[in-house]
Amino acid sequence: MAAAPVVAAEVVTRQVADSAEFTGTLAAVQSVELRPRVGGYVDSVRFAEGGLVTAGQVLFQLDSRTFEAVLDRARADLRQAEERRTLAEKRFERGEKLVAEQAISQGDFDVLTAERAESRARVESAKAAVRGAEVDLQDTRVRAPVSGRVGRALVTQGNLVSGGALLTTIVSVEPFYVYFDVDEATYLRFAGTTSGARGKDGRVNAVPVRVALTGDEGFPREARLDFLDNQVVAGTGTARARAVLPNPDGKLTAGLFARVRLETGAARPTVLIQDLAVGTDQKGRYVLVVRPDQTLEQRRVELGTTEGGLRVVRSGLAAGEKVVLKGLARPGMAVAPTLVAMADSEHAEGARP
């Protein structure tokens, strides 16, 4: 019987770190609900909804006339208190001379002393009132506390708002957090300072994390592990983890779904193959290995994650072995393999084994 033609490739061996994959969501590092400290009518809205704003930028202007009047009155009260203090100081100075000459009694001099102290306290109180009025006036200009992307205006010009009313929201845009839940085995890998995964302060080290969003091939985005929660949730057997993901092009936003690959061990030689080399039956996954005598052997394999477009083989294959990628073949058949590069085999023609 003639040997069956098949397309085969030698397995690829690379240095690949042990890793685990999880699902997560993106969240802004800073998220602010913008609320005014004072109330009043909205004079103007000074931002483009959905646009970028900078920290300190005025977003809402409230009617300031009432607060300007309060500030003017506070300043007038301060001037009045300062004049009274001046008068009390002069009366005290005269009283010092008179009590020394025994022209007035000690009781009268004690009254002058108390009046001077009271006048000084009134000045300080008036100064505090001025500062409070200045703060209230400044707060009629509602500013962005952080830089980021602003949401829609929840109130518009002419509306009366009270102190604490929600005006809009702001989320930072660079970088982003990626929150995901890890299993107990992964959590234990990073538990304790003796594992080398945590620093002397107890925080997790900045382990590399790969992130993929909807539509991404592989895991093209690089992040760093930033936080691991202090407990495992008994009901789910998971712990919350967080990575920091840069957003240089500004395309990311909070709430996006993400796939996360977390390195859980050191890099070691690892066998990788194309997914199209893998077959499936009732017993699980397998590959067809080309023996030195050009016959086929069915080999059960345990697969892992993908790495650079290839599938990690955790067990079942060794470096240098050749597997069938395409062709009509079955275990024990004699074959005439056409060898191609594993990474380029996706362009070969034929059927899967």
pLDDT digits (tens, 9 = 90+) for 212-224: 898 888 788 899 9
Q: Give me the pLDDT at residue 195, please.
A: 55
| All CATH 2.40.420.20 domain ranges in the chain, comma separated | 4-16+269-347
Contact predicate 184/231, CB 8 Å = no
Centroid of chain to Cα 350: 46
Rg of the chain in Å (alpha carbons): 37
Element (H, E) at 119: helix 106-138
Distances (CA, A) of 145 to 32, 33, 164, 188: 8, 10, 15, 39
Convert the pLDDT of each residue in 324-352 to its tens digit: 888 888 888 888 888 888 875 444 444 44
Does CATH place domain 37-63+141-171 in 2.60.40.740? no
Alpha helices, DSSP H, located in the chain: 65-100, 106-138, 184-189
User: Is it the case that residue 38 has pLDDT exceeding 90?
Assistant: yes
Between CA 63 and CA 157 the distance in angstroms is 10
CA distance 307 to 173: 29
Q: Is the pLDDT of residue 189 over 70?
A: yes
215-273 pLDDT, tens digit each: 888 788 899 988 888 888 989 999 999 999 999 888 888 999 999 988 777 778 888 88
Distance CA 170, CA 145 (A): 9
Strands (E), 166-300: 168-171, 176-183, 208-213, 221-228, 238-245, 257-273, 279-281, 284-290, 296-300
Q: Is residue 167 within 8 Å of residue 188, measured between CB atoms?
A: no
| 286 close to 299: Cβ distance less than 8 angstroms | yes
Q: 337: Cβ–Cβ under 8 A, 6 or more apart, which residues? A: 5, 6, 7, 8, 290, 294, 322, 324
Is the pLDDT reported for residue 104 higher than 70?
yes
pLDDT of amino acid 267: 75
pLDDT in tens, 76-89: 999 999 999 999 99
pLDDT band of 196, cuts 50, 70, 90: low
CATH code: domain 19-29+173-266 is 2.40.30.170
Residues of the chain with CATH 1.10.287.470: 65-138
pLDDT of residue 199: 67
> What local confidence, expressed as pLDDT, does residue 197 receive?
67
Taking CA atoms, 25 is separated from 137, 191, 243, 286, 288, in Å, by 40, 23, 11, 34, 39
pLDDT for the residue 135: 95
∠ CA 242-245-246, nearest 5°, is 155
Let me know if 209 is exposed, middle or buried by CB neighbors in 10 A (0-12, 13-18, 19+).
Answer: buried
pLDDT for res 337: 85
Kindly report, as residue ranges, where domains of CATH 2.40.50.100 are found in the chain. 37-63+141-171
Domain with CATH 2.40.30.170 in the chain: 19-29+173-266
Residues paired with 62 in a beta bridge: 42
d(CA 290, CA 292): 7
Q: Taking 80 as the threshold, does the pLDDT of residue 18 lie above it?
A: no
From CA 56, how far away is CA 43, in angstroms rounded? 18
Checking if the pLDDT of 146 tops 90, the result is: yes
Look up residue 216 and give its DSSP letter.
-
At residue 192, the pLDDT reads 60
Is there a contact between 324 and 287 (Cβ–Cβ < 8 Å)?
Answer: yes
User: Which span out of 174-183, 197-206, 307-316 was modeled with the highest average pLDDT?
Assistant: 174-183
Using CA atoms, how far residue 51 sits from 31, 48, 174, 246, 322, in Å, is 15, 5, 14, 19, 55
| Model pLDDT, residue 17 | 76
205 secondary structure, DSSP code: P
Q: What percent of the chain has pLDDT over 90?
A: 44
Q: What pLDDT, in 10s, does the model give residues 39-91? A: 999 999 999 999 999 999 999 999 999 999 999 999 999 999 999 999 999 99
Helix (H, G, I), strand (E, B) or coil at 108: helix
Q: How many residues belong to the chain?
A: 353
- Cα separation, 175 vs 27, whole angstroms: 10
Best CATH choice for the domain 4-16+269-347 from the list 3.40.50.720, 3.40.80.10, 2.40.420.20, 1.10.760.10: 2.40.420.20
pTM for this prediction = 0.68
- Average pLDDT for the chain: 87
Kindly report the CATH number that applies to the domain delimited by 65-138: 1.10.287.470
**pLDDT for the residue numbered 1:** 60
Structure tokens at 251: 């395309």
pLDDT at 194 (0 to 100): 53
Report yes or no: 197 and 205 within 8 Å, Cβ to Cβ. yes
Question: In the chain, helix, strand, coil percent, each to 5?
Answer: 25, 40, 35
